[in-house]
Structure 1
Amino acid sequence: MKFTSQGEVVISARLTELNANLLQLDIDVTDTGIGIPPEKADSLFEAFNQADASTTRQFGGTGLGLSIAKNLCLLMGGTISVKSIPGEGSNFSSSMLLKTSDQAELVKPTIDISQLEILIVDDNTTNLEVLRGQLDLWGAKAIEASSGSEALELCQQRYNDESKRPFDIALLDMQMPEMDGAELGRKLSHDERFQSMKLVMMTSMTYQGGAQEMADIGFDAYFPKPATTSDLFDALSILADDGQALQQAQPLITSESIKTYSTKDSRQIKWPEGTRLLILEDNYINQMVALSTLKNIGLHADVAGNGLEAISSLIQTTANTPHTLILMDCQMPEMDGYEATRAIRDGKAGQFYTDIPIIAMTANAMQGDKEKCLAAGMNAYLSKPIYNDAPISTLISYVCNNKPEYEDAPMPQDDTSTKPNATASTSEQDTPTHWNPDGLRERIYNNDDLFSALLNSFLSDSPKHSEDILKACNELDLKALKAISHLLKGVCGQLCADKLQSLCAAIEQVSLRPIEQVDKHELEG
């Protein structure tokens, strides 16, 4: 971006199937920037080489980016090249060979977007092409306008044509000549003929206006460009549904507010008959939250406290009531998740279960965890705490073979279609909160009985946990310290006790050091 002060940077990709197992991915990056002199182009891909190497150059950088890009392309059996005209811009073209994957995620729409007719308004032809292409992919009918006046004319024509209904949704660009998106939105929202049309403002990231300003004009949603595919899809779903989620959006739908919504369908998933899960989890609180989550999406589950219990449970199940899938905690006493998975794959629980889907659950969320889980024989990986709808898409993939059926049914009375802002994750806050009771209530579907049971269990266990930590610190027993701090970190995460979770994570990090690097005074602190 730094070489393109005006105009645009466009990234385009193409996928070509070379044979049943091999694909070629071509990626072009085209800009309208300063361009590159022909005599400099050939050396651009050499390490520490830039087109402008003078001491007074305007743009910084090490000259390594293109060299790294070239090596990556070559390692993947491809190439990279550049074409450029000084003062007009550059086009970098790259290609690479890829194998087909059996792990591609499928989009699971919550509404039938193919029934929508959407007006997209933008004076930039690239933006129109990108939006139209995405909407076409989802099956929606997209009608384009390159200016505010053209958009008003199209709306007027549809109003006068009795065979057509108004557009369902309009996506408006902010920065347009003559009539910008704000003025167009004001005209549309104040015209009684177009009151049913939902308005979405899309602005460049440098625009300084706020969500409240857009809501006051009459917009229903507000996104910076480029909006992510998931945000756009979710926004269209909420707008088309025109239900509680839209009514409670304050002041309107944004990329931030979408993260606070439940992703559940307004219909319950109809799981295959006889679906029965097994949860391996050694902590009572985590067991209760997992069972509550699964119950609210219509799934029955049994619980085992460690790998040995799980293998015994699997052996005892009859052919009439077999387990369908295993949710496997990785850190457990006696036999952890990795050992248990290897034992199941080796037939220790019976030949019937050697291929059962096993989904890892781990609170570590550290680099290498996913690879370790897959190497042990697990099929998929979920980071804890797992709550609300986080595991649904994964469960659908393995229980329904990517073909979920749905039945029309009301959601449970204690469910809510929106999540309060208080449930924002720790990473989205400046500092961890001591405790977020609203977040916990939302996590367990506002089940008051479960809320009380979780807190009572935690409070009754806390004195023993505190004693165990102090004893491990005093004796420099790092193995015991790791076990108790890891367990508490997961429990605090489930209970939305962010501050305590952060402290437990810090203790766990100390326990992972070589003992000669551990200062007893640090542990006492």
Structure 2
Amino acid sequence: MTQFSKHVLITAFAYFLAGKFGLLLAIPPGFASAIWPASGIALACYILLNRTAVVVGVLLGSFLVNANLVSWVNNGFDSVGFWLAMGIGLGGALQTVWSGYLYFRLIGSLSQLDTPRDIILFFTIIGPAGCLIAATNGASGLMAAGYIETFNFSFTWLTWWIGDTIGVIVFTPMVLSLFKKPSTTTLRQKFQLMMPTLFIFAATFALFIGSLNARQQAQQESLNENATAYFGAVHEQIIVAESKLRAYQGFFQSSASVTMDDFNQFSETLIDNDDAFQGIGWTEIVTDDQRPEFEQHFRDLGYENYTFTEPDANGVLQPAQSRATYYPVLYIYPMETNKRAFGLNLGAESNRLNTLIRAQETKRSIATPPIKLVQSEGEQIGIILYVPVFNEKDASRSFLGYISGVFLVEGMVGAIVKQAESSGFGIDISDITSPISTLPLISTTLNPVEKFEPLRQEFNLGGRRYQMDVFISDQSALIGKDWSSWIVLTSGFLIAALLNSLVLIINGTYESIRKEVALKTRDLLAAKQAAESANVAKSNFLANMSHEFRTPLNAIIGLTDLNLKTPLNAKQTDYLHKTKLASETLLALISHTLDYAKIESGKLDVEQIDFSIIDVLHKIEAVFSVQASQKNVEFKINLPAQMPDKVIGDPLRLEQVLLNLCSNAFKFTSQGRVTIDVKCKKVTNTTVQLQVAVSDTGIGIPRDHQAHLFESFRQADSTTTRKYGGTGLGLAISKQLIELMGGDISLHSQPEKGSEFTIRLPLPLANESRFLSPDELSSPMSPPLSTENATNSDLVSNNLETILPLENLTILVVEDNEINQLVAKETFSGLGATVIVAPSGPYALNVLERSSTIDMVLLDIQMPEMDGYEVARRIRAKGEQWANIPILAMTANVMSEDIERCYAAGMNGHIGKPLNVSDAVAKILDTLQNKH
């Protein structure tokens, strides 16, 4: 298929679908569609595709839409319909060419309709002026074909033109923004840009449907209301007619005899001026031998030619044939209009005779089917209701005769039908007694509106069933032009078009800004990449410097500890203690710097585990009770009257904060006391707010320095660092840790009187937590921990000088640094262990191959040839042979990600450098204990 053919089919198909959709928006009766999307689709195709192909496609698509419409309206398709559809299609094609010419002339082929100038030209000239051709051609064609009257030409032309114009200004920009090539926005972004317009489009369509439904509902309600009134009026006429016949029945029953004069006087009173009655007759059963007497009686009354009559085959009245019995009309009123029925033998016609006999036998009124009355002129349809009359007083003359009520259907309901027709409602009444055929009584000349089902009700008269249909006709005021729906639809789509133009302008402005931003973004991206590289370099630098600092510090602290265990004079001991203190200060600086870096980068996590506040306080007391004794400073922990035994939080970080605060308190307090006051506030069934105040009687902090105290690398006074030491990070880290845990920290201080730091920390209660009674709490606290519940760390810390905790253990130390090898060997050998040193990873694997007595592997991480992670993986890869050998990293790599990598490589734990001997021994013992 050639590109030309493809463009023809694409255009024809798109036009046809858009046209069918436009027909859904047509507003009855006789409106052209309030919006014709096909016109906008046609112009967009003309701009985007092969122009000649688009013209052919528009002609084909328009012809199909209109041919389908004409066929539906006429219930068929003839030559007139063909040429009408072809003419409208030709007008649509010419309009497309004209609109396209205006577009290329005024705007140009490369425009995205995204500037105010282009939008204004499109809305004010191209849309309105470009849509003149189809409206003029189409309205003229409809008038020429007889589909619209001359007086309706202007209205048809106007609605056609408005529909096409709105279709162009709404749909052409939408299609162009979706499919025109010179654009850098994605299809998804284009849809997002059009979402406001599509929303208004959908809302307008919904309002339009709602308006149509509301109007149809109002029309239906009006039909219901009027039909109910018409049903009531007809039913009332029937009741009145029946009641009058019952009055005749009573008149004959109550009279000994009724003469013609009596009958006429009674009838004059009762039915004069009642159009429902053609006449009222009285019939008795007369035998053949009684016939002369009856005929003579009426001749004597002045009716000289009176005789019983019957119609012949041609309907001409003739004297009645000789019969055993006759059913003559003896009285009739009014005589002038019913002379032909005077003397008529009702029994001459078999169906009528059967009706009379059935009425007598059943003693009920019986009506005839609709009949042409012999006494009326023209084609008037009537119904005769025969009412049998019985003498209830004289059994010998029990049956008296028949009242014949001759009803004119036109007279009974004609006024009601005309009244309905004047309001645009049609009424049809039929006799539906026979299940085979329906007999029409009265039919309106109005045409019903198909979308409204007629309302129907049935009536009974004389044993026959009648059906009455009431419907809205095309002449009803209710079927007039639905201006409200038309205004809703037109206004809504105009708003959609305006909004679409605004979106296009915004998008065009956005595109120009985007290009400018793209240039700036490249510069910013380069700067961002440089900043990210710098940040990565900073993190790597911190990690590397931490390792590089800790490695020699491990040697310094380790060798210092080893020297302190040898015989020394007082001056040497003093120098070494000061060396160790300086090393520990440097180590604290490194640790604080790393903690701060992790908090700053958001990599520091807090745990949520069950723990005991009492245990944390025991550790704090254990750490500082000796320092308090050495400085001759009172140290006291005050507990509340009740405290939960278990809460949920991060005990390690809480302990770290308390260590910082207590360390500062002892550092700046030379006499007096350091106190920890613990309180539990806002206690509920699920939470408790822990308040811990650490106060001292030290040097205090001036008010003008307090605001900066929690800032990083700040202290109250620059001379503080020189006099007391410290990093200036401890309080900043403490504050951030407390805030990470959801709490806060505050300060109250006076120079020369002391300081008080208060922590407020909300903590959830652990499951099955209970509150300790006053007897279970002591204040001041009892000595830290007994041997029975002490941990390995506590036991080692308290007894390191008197026991050999690593006795009978063989430890393989994998370490490439010779000084650290010496420190590790001397340290662990001094604690009772047999130490084997491996200077590299491969060497360590060879040792494990040859020896089966290794109880523990202490493994450095950063080593040449093979790092510690790889060594651990290879050990674990041996399967059952080495699966149970405990491996602890002993390294200066102390970042959290370093520790996680250790566990991932198969190690059992982590010991940081520089070594804290008691902690290292405790971890070794804990690991061995867990193994067993």
TM norm structure 2 = 0.19
Higher helix share: 2
TM norm structure 1 = 0.30
Q: Which has the larger radius of gyration?
A: 2
